[in-house]
Each structure stands twice: as C-alpha cells, then as structure tokens.
C-alpha cells in the first residue's frame, strides 16, 4: 500500500496488550512512505519494536518496501505489486526464565534441570511480497510474509512459518456528498499462519473530522476505535475487549496511533490515490 496516498505519510503507534496478565506485551511502530516519480512507485520504511514479558524477549525490526504503480482501464483501476525485505533481531534474557523438570503446586520447581540456555541474540533477513488493487471506492489485496521462513530459534532451529493475509474494503459516500463529509467504510481481513487462523470484520464511519468504528475478531474480541482525522493529521485510539475465556486474565489491550499527511509533490496525470479512514 506504500505510495497510494497523495502525501508523504508518517505514522507512529503504540500497543499495550494484556496489561493485567503477567508479562505484558507492548509494541511500538513507526513508518514512512511516499510515491516517487523516478521509481514509478511507492517506497516505504518500517520500524517495529516488540517487548514481550517485560523484557524477557525483545524484537527489533527494520523493513524496506517497494511497490510499482500500474494503472489500467483509463486510470479507473490501480494495481501495485510489492516486495519487502526486512532485517530483524530477537534478544532473550535467560535470567528471567526459570527451568525445572517437575512443578509442585506449593513449592514450585522441585528438581533442577540440566538444560543449558542457548544464544541470547538471533538475527536474520525476512522476505515478503504481495499485491494491492484499488479503485476510487474499493480496495483489496494479498500479502505473503516470511517467504524465506527465517530461523528465529534461540536453543535450536525454529523457522518462522509463512503467513498469508487477505483483505478487502470500501470507502463509500453519498452521491450528493461531493466533499465526502460522510464516509462509510466496511472492511474484512483474513490471516492464516500454520495452524492459526484469524478473521476480522469491521466498519468505520467518518463524519466530517470524527472517525468511529467497531470490529470483531472471531471468537476473541470486539474492537472499538475513535479518533479525529483532518487533511494533514489523524489521531486515534482503540480498545480490544476480550470475549474469549481469557477475558478475566487479559483485560483486553489498548492502542493509540498518530498519522501525519505531509504535503508532497503533485503527481502527474490522473494518478489514482486512496486514503484509508
């Protein structure tokens, strides 16, 4: 999706997951993307830092994405195949892990194990590819991550399984609403990785500068979000309300993000763009 907006897009987000559970999981993300004429497509940079178990396992990831822009049917449809290459480093703090062969309900670990901690750091390259297709109202795409199945194991080989993501959606408005003061945006996302599957269905509504939405992740959580979106800036917050058997342990998760739409050079011709809400 890099380079599909009419501006240079800068995005920053923070996610705090399962704050009531032992070993909180938090994620910080920053990205920047823009369309470049000399590349005939969009170029994007992504940075992500995961902190799992209050520092037990941390992951830092840098990624570069390129998506050439192709327009069909007299600029009515845009197609963007894409490739991505990432470098990630995972680090584990073995001192925060406890090893044992048997566990007693009252005394904890009874026997000492002979297990020896493995390496403390693991780094590798990660390849991805996909395609994004959109018109003035509708969009959809497929992405395949971890194509090369990089090894992320600490104590032994552990290949990262290939992940496939499908998504479709729309930005709909009334014919008489020339300035798009009201936008109705349904969307659907499906994710598959090895034995794991996820289906996320949602609806976002934008009225002037106010954005609200609700989504449902199958058998897991209802997600509500609210924010404000102007021509050059967006600020939003979302909350995952867990509905599975984990609801009394996790208490959901909180996420906030900011997006800046910085003015960029005017694209030539009838270059088709799209902005998500």
For residue 231, being part of any structural domain is answered with yes
For residue 270, being part of any structural domain is answered with no
Domain that holds residue 75: 8-262
pLDDT value of position 178: 65
Could you tell me which residues come within 8 angstroms of residue 251 by beta carbon, excluding any fewer than 6 positions away? 18, 19, 20, 21, 242
For residue 61, being part of any structural domain is answered with yes
What pTM value is reported for the model?
A: 0.86
pLDDT value of position 25: 85
pLDDT value of position 103: 57
pLDDT value of position 75: 84
Could you tell me which residues come within 8 angstroms of residue 108 by beta carbon, excluding any fewer than 6 positions away? 100
Alpha-carbon distance of 58 to 54, in angstroms, equals: 9
Q: Domain total for the chain?
A: 1
For residue 3, being part of any structural domain is answered with no
Closest CA to 32 of 80, 64, 75, 74: 64
pLDDT value of position 30: 97
CATH of the domain at 244: 2.40.160.40
Alpha-carbon distance of 180 to 57, in angstroms, equals: 45
pLDDT value of position 21: 65
pLDDT value of position 151: 93
For residue 46, being part of any structural domain is answered with yes
Alpha-carbon distance of 130 to 127, in angstroms, equals: 11
Alpha-carbon distance of 102 to 113, in angstroms, equals: 9
Alpha-carbon distance of 263 to 234, in angstroms, equals: 14
Contact 91, 121 (CB under 8 A): yes
pLDDT value of position 246: 72
Radius of gyration over alpha carbons of the chain, in Å?
22
For residue 276, being part of any structural domain is answered with no
pLDDT value of position 113: 59
Contact 233, 203 (CB under 8 A): no
Q: Is 132 exposed, middle or buried (0-12, 13-18, 19+ CB in 10 A)?
A: buried
pLDDT tens, the chain, 277 aa long: 999 988 899 999 999 887 666 667 899 999 999 999 899 999 999 999 999 877 788 999 999 999 999 999 888 899 999 999 999 999 988 877 766 555 555 555 555 556 667 788 999 999 999 999 999 899 999 999 999 999 998 878 889 999 999 999 999 987 776 667 899 999 999 999 999 999 999 999 999 999 999 999 988 889 999 999 998 999 999 999 888 777 667 777 899 999 999 976 555 556 788 888 8
For residue 274, being part of any structural domain is answered with no
Contact 241, 214 (CB under 8 A): no
């Amino acid at each position: 999706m890099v380079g599909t907006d009419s501006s240079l897009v800068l995005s920053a987000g923070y996610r705090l997951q399962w704050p009531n559970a032992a070993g909180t999981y938090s994620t910080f993300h920053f990205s920047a993307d823009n369309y470049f004429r000399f590349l005939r497509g969009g170029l994007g940079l992504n940075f992500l830092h995961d902190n799992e178990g209050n520092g037990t396992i941390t992951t830092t990831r840098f990624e570069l994405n390129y998506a050439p822009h192709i327009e069909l049917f007299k600029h009515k449809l845009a197609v963007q195949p894409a490739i991505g290459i990432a470098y990630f480093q995972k680090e584990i703090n073995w001192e925060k892990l406890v090893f044992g062969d048997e566990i007693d309900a009252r005394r904890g670990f009874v026997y000492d194990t002979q297990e020896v901690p493995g390496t403390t750091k693991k780094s590798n390259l990660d390849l991805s590819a996909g395609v994004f297709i959109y018109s003035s109202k509708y969009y959809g795409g497929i992405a395949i991550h971890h194509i090369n199945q990089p090894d992320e194991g600490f104590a032994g080989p552990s290949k990262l399984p290939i992940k496939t993501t499908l998504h479709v959606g729309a930005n709909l408005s009334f014919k008489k609403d020339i300035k798009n003061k009201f936008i109705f945006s349904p969307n659907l996302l499906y994710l598959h990785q090895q034995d794991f599957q996820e289906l996320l269905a949602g609806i976002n509504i934008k009225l002037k500068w106010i954005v609200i939405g609700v989504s449902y992740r199958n058998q897991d959580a209802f997600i509500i979000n609210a924010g404000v979106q102007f021509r050059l800036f967006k600020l939003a917050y979302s909350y995952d309300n867990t509905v599975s058997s984990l609801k009394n342990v996790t208490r959901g998760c909180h996420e906030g993000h900011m997006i800046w739409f910085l003015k960029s050079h005017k694209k030539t011709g009838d270059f088709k763009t799209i902005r998500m809400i």
